[in-house]
Structure 1
């Protein structure tokens, strides 16, 4: 167990961008090859046009950086990589898409200060509510929205991490302290993505030999230790809608390849393997959809880091489409279309594309075999957004004219492809086909086809 001491306090994310609020121009879609021949070809903007072109915002993609726990640094340690953002703090969306939260700078010219801001996304028009207190926040604080409208904030002072819930109250901001954790011996602590149950929040504390999972909101008396996972863990992807099955990217304490594992929080942190594409490959889980079982994976099994996809319960190997590795850009998935019950190949996936011209949006489906590249609204909070069940992508943005806006992007339609016996069998059975006629003798990769996720049932 990592060295964290509790200081409890008894308290109880087709080519037309349509703005919901403010103005946004039309997004032109570059026409690319749409044939069915292999290899798959990405659709690219012309010469990655610069800031005044159709493809890219006015500020560079790498104007700010934050630590990305999914990317290893030169030493191989997880958490050392950097991902691009358009702001100094992350924009986090609640599990059901109702609220979002971020840290933002006050508009005061004399003394700019950071304060939390909550966005309401599920109404007719988005709006933001500032949640300032009597003191400015540190820019390295974390905020996370709950589905009841409250916002969790994690603050750090030296080795002490405090947690509170913020909420609007009349003209001011209310604060409910939840307790604190004191992490010694250089242990790092980060918030996990919002829990699917909407009422809980978890954090990872990475120690020298193991990683602790803490329930920091939703418990009865402050932070609660719920699991201890051997090794150094990063990432964090929920595999179900109950907030029980958590995927983490784990590296053995003594070094070695990073492998995604499943942690069952309902069984005291029982750990089972989830990804093992090759014995020595680094296999990380980036996104998972609980409805369809679609997984978005980053692995160096093909020889270098590639984006791939697989399906929980499938015996097919992980596939690494060529269209997901366009030249001279970085591609990162950030949202999967929900509601596609047992149809992982039809899910639309939204991707952030970072290049020399800036950041823009990609849309891809496993069956489409084509990466559609679309312009982002001005001021897009890059890397954030969410899908509706009907295939509309909602992209939050903020600029000088619109302090709180959401652009609606209809997913481009892929060319129809022939449906062979294997896909027909997949539709009827609700599972990915293992072969056109007979299942293979050996399931690869292990253990996607044998993932021992105890108690997993089809979504209702």
Structure 2
């Protein structure tokens, strides 16, 4: 059995970003046992089909010379290389064997992870989107003659079974993150003046139009565990983006969700229904420069913008929140993807600690993909030439351990949080919040972030 793979250690591209140190990443390597059979709801894997080996990752570039710079808005990171179901049982990605692209399904809820290739009659295009379903099938979106065609793929004997679902004829279209129920899949099609929300899988008659939302919508965050409440970032008439909630149980009814100030761009990135923790990006504290912040659904406290999450010349993107921390948002562990000139690495953080631990990602990490367990273990899928399907595990270092993350005394270690400033309101009854009237089935804490005011730091 091959031994654990040494993580590649990126080097900081700026004097304000300390190089990450290797964390306690424990790769889970496949053993010589027979492949674990799929769950009863999923089709069995192909025992005879070889698992293609993706090309090894490019070597980490040499450390650049640190030079003075002017802080700007962080660059936009590339999309995740792998998509996981909400429960972490399955994952899907577009893999490459060196000559052609094909969908690949990963099974992650067994004793060991394993991958099943799902090649079609011809190679896929590099921009083809795939997403895992809760029953083990993989949804694929192909662009054919200007139409977005959807199908469900599953392994069958020596080949790949395919169930065509239909097509949507539109311009720009993107799949949303997998729904929590695992049965449905959604996509948004952006038009000139409105955005159409489509149910592309799980309906009765192929792709179904759920609702048409005025404005330009992006993003996509699920607010509950039933797949009813969806958050989108909407821009009206070229104005700043504001997060709105779409109630799929009411035919796509749209209500405001997040607004820090009238002129700020406020986008929702992640939400945890158990604790109510929200991760967002806004330019409210420094107009023109977006920053990461956090808040709590149902809380009257202002949105906070930790200084430790502000890394110049790097894109910092949260991708996973620890579930199960009911009514304890500040104790939730958060995983962040950090993209800089030196490469891609990991950030581990809890709101209560106000400190970002930067650690090297495992070699071959499918960047942007990962899942927290309820007991605080972060699982990161990776693929290398030696281990084509593996999962590395890590956790947030102990607060007393200064050997991980920034070195002791680094300015980012103990900087206080910032809060966006706004004109204080008179001491009167709280303003009504739209989502207080919405039936948020499965959501323990009702969303009261809409119209959230912010206060000076104190």
Name the residue aligned to 2:324: 339
Once the two structures are superposed, the pairs formed by residues 103-142 of structure 1 within 5 Å of their partners are 103-107=94-98, 112-142=99-129
**C-alpha RMSD of the superposition:** 3.1
Q: Which runs of 5+ in 1 are unaligned?
A: 1-19, 31-41, 49-55, 62-71, 74-80, 417-438
Q: Are 1:58 and 2:45 counterparts?
A: no
Task: Report deviation, 1:128.
Answer: 0.6
Number of residues paired by the alignment?
372
Query: In the alignment, what sits opposite 1:454?
Result: 439
Q: In 2 relative to 1, CA 275–124 (structure 1 residues): closer, same or farther, beyond 3 Å?
A: same
Partner of 2:416: none
* Cα separation, 2, equivalents of 1:238 and 1:404: 28
Relative to 1, partners in 2 of residues 1:141 and 1:334: Cα closer, same or farther, differing over 3 Å?
same
What corresponds to 1:44 in structure 2? Answer: 18
SS at match of 1:371: strand
Task: Report if aligned partners of 1:294, 1:310 keep a CA contact under 8 Å in 2.
Answer: yes
Tell me which residue corresponds to 1:216. Answer: 200
Cα distance between partner residues in 2 of 1:60 and 1:225: 46
* Residue 281 (str. 1) matches residue 264 (str. 2): yes
Report SS of the residue matched to 1:320.
Answer: strand
Runs (5+) with no aligned partner, structure 2:
23-56, 63-72, 402-424, 446-458
Q: CA deviation digits over 1:93-148, x for unaligned, max 9?
A: 011100100111124xxxx1110000111111111100001111111111000111
Q: Is the 8 A contact 1:43 1:373 kept in 2?
A: no
TM-score (norm 2): 0.75
Aligned match of 1:69: none
The answer as to 2:352 corresponding to 1:367 is yes
In structure 2, relative to structure 1, the CA distance for the partners of 1:407 and 1:270 (3 Å cut) is same
Contact 2:9 2:20 in 1 (8 A): no
Whether contact under 8 Å (2:81, 2:367) holds in the other structure is: no
Match of 2:240 in 1: 257
- Tell me, yes or no, if the aligned pair for 2:255 and 2:435 is still in contact at 8 Å: no
* 1:322-356 deviation per Cα after TM superposition (whole angstroms, max 9, x unaligned): 01013332211010001111111110000011122
> Contact (CA 8 Å) 1:189, 1:203: kept in 2 or not?
yes
Residues 405-456 of structure 1 show CA distances to partners (whole Å, capped at 9, x for unaligned) of 110012212259xxxxxxxxxxxxxxxxxxxxxx994699x88896554334
Listed one character per residue, the Cα deviations across residues 370-403 of structure 1 (whole Å, up to 9, x for unaligned) are 0011111111111111101110001111112111
> Judging changes above 3 Å, is the alpha-carbon distance between structure 1 residues 284 and 60 closer, same or farther for their aligned structure 2 residues?
farther
Distance 1:257 1:104, change over 3 A: same
1:83 aligns with one of 77, 85, 91: 77
In structure 2, the residue corresponding to 1:345 is in which secondary structure?
Answer: helix
* CA distance in 2: counterparts of 1:127 and 1:21, whole angstroms: 16
Matched with 1:24 is 5
CA displacement at 1:83 relative to structure 2 = 1.8
Are positions 1:182 and 2:169 aligned together? Answer: yes
- Normalization by structure 1: what TM-score? 0.75
Aligned mates of 2:102, 2:239 — CA distance in 1: 40
Quick one: which of 153, 159, 179 aligns to 2:140? 153
Q: Structure 1 stretches (4+) deviating beyond 6 angstroms?
A: 26-30, 446-450
Give, in angstroms, the shift of residue 249 of structure 1. Answer: 0.2
Shift of 1:182: 1.1
Q: Shift of residue 195 of structure 1?
A: 0.3
